[in-house]
Amino acid sequence: MEFEELGIREECGVFGCLAAGQWPTELDVPHVITLGLVGLQHRGQESAGIVTSDGESAHFKVHKGMGLVNHVFSEDSLKKLYVSNLGIGHTRYSTSGVSVLDNCQPFVVETLHGKIAVAHNGELTNAVRLRRKLMRHGVGLSTSSDSELITQLLAFTPPLEEDDTPDWVARIKNLMNETPTSYSLLMMHKDIIYAVRDPYGNRPLCIGRLVPVGDINGKGKNNAETEGWVVSSESCSFLSIGAEYYREVMPGEIVKISRYDVQTLDIVPRPKGDPTAFCIFEYVYFARPDSIFEGQMVYSVRRRCGQQLAIEAPVEADLVSTVPESATPAALGYAQKCGLPYIEVLCKNRYVGRTFIQPNMRLRQLGVAKKFGVLSDNFRGKRVVLIDDSIVRGNTISPIIKLLRESGAKEVHIRVASPPIKFPCYMGINIPTKEELIANRPEFKDLAGYIGADSVVYLSVEGLVSSVQESIKARQDQENNLKISKFKSGKIGHCTACLVGEYPVELEW
């Protein structure tokens, strides 16, 4: 819960759609993208944008705005995006770059071979050097966003490219050689969408297949007509638009999506045989629980984290509960492993604004009290194990513990379904400064006393990694099924830099 209260967020989400078969299509591409972005709204709430095309003319249709997706895209604004056969969209929360309309994505630029549109999720670890390099080449930059750097790098002509034949694979590989991480991106050019994931696979990206409504959920899965293709930061947005999960874009993969098929164009390997570095906090908090990463559902991983937490930190208690709602799967796993009943102790008021926007500590704490009702009959006189997904600064959980005690809880034991965050992230996550993190402060030595709990235990780093990697074979099987000899991603790993301070690549300043 404290991730939510502090505004610790992903930078953004990307979504693309391309109609299959004959064009002009009857598929409502702008509405499909809009609904896809609604499904990714948890990844960014500052701004949203969509760029569409008929795939034949040189004209791109663009609409962007500040705010939530449903506020930015009304029926009138969507009319600007017709008639369209393909398009890409973006919803943003800024970690680098100012929160202004100029930084809204997708970005559109004119190249030697026509316009391209680019949408990006992540944060470049060598952005400062890349900005200087572009400026030395006479490229002017109009925004403070990393995504504009990517767009301009894609507009560069590779040395071996012929003037009259665009080699987009070479351009994309040139970008990937310039910057190792972190990015999942979509690029639209004429009648093609290119889906690209950095070689470390730090940010997620997956592909879905649009099928007739009657064929969703596996009915006639192999023989169903393909009405179109979608690509998204998370698969959670697929069901609402009538798409079935197809597969992930693998680390380092360059995928070409056309009206005819989905094709792997190339794989860019990691230097020195490094393991992959998918952000482990996608599993802990950022992703929706119904999303699929590496062949496994996020909900299942969170439940396993709770089970592992019960092994590492059992406690004599009467019931297990959670701070609604992101830690619920972990709480259910903890209760199951301990053999204790799972009982709700808090009722969330969904119509109270997020407390991290409150201007001072007192109002933030009052905001937490306003946000929850107490189901006191469920725990009065009992020992409660309260599962949370995080304790980052320690300010948010304290008033909840106080609320439970005043309402009759005999004991309140806090169990945290993720390890303590100790280091900043430089790859697309907004994390408080190192000094703000409770794990780096003197209060951490007696955290239970500081927040008013009877005990506090975090999940270990090893426990989190084992919970995530328990079913990772599904990802390896998927690679084998692609039958591309150079596709093997090598050793599968996860980025735990914010927990242990070891970053997957050397950081540049």
What distances in angstroms separate CA 36 from CA 105, 128, 288, one per listed residue?
Answer: 15, 32, 13
Q: What is the C-alpha separation between 255 and 327, in angstroms, rounded?
A: 35
Tokens standing for 375?
Answer: 């189901």
* 279 annotated as belonging to a binding site for a ligand: yes
* 94 annotated as belonging to a binding site for a ligand: no
DSSP 76-107: HHHGGG-S-SEEEEEEE--SSS-SSGGG-S-E
Does 12 qualify as catalytic in the annotation? yes
The catalytic residue among 12, 104, 236, 305 is: 12
* 347 annotated as belonging to a binding site for a ligand: no
Contact 458, 418 (CB under 8 A): yes
Q: In Å, how far from its chain's centre is CA 476? A: 21
* 425 annotated as belonging to a binding site for a ligand: yes
Q: What is the C-alpha separation between 36 and 11, in angstroms, rounded?
A: 17
Nearest Cα to Cα of residue 464 among 251, 273, 276, 285? 285
* 389 annotated as belonging to a binding site for a ligand: yes
What b/e sequence results for 195-232 when a residue is b if at least 16 CB atoms lie within 10 Å of its CB, and e otherwise?
A: bbbbbbbbbbbbbbbbbeeebbeeeeeeebebbbbbbb
Return the bridge partners of 415, or none. Answer: 387, 457
* 236 annotated as belonging to a binding site for a ligand: no
Q: What is the C-alpha separation between 204 and 198, in angstroms, rounded?
A: 10
Q: Residue 433: exposed, middle, or buried by beta-carbon count in 10 A (0-12, 13-18, 19+)?
A: exposed
195: helix, coil or strand? Answer: strand
**Do you know the residue count of the chain?**
509
* 388 annotated as belonging to a binding site for a ligand: yes
Q: What positions carry a catalytic annotation? A: 12
Mark the binding-site residues for [4Fe-4S] cluster, compressed into ranges: 279, 425, 495, 498
Mark the binding-site residues, compressed into ranges: 279, 326, 388-389, 425, 495, 498
Mark the binding-site residues for Mg(2+), compressed into ranges: 326, 388-389
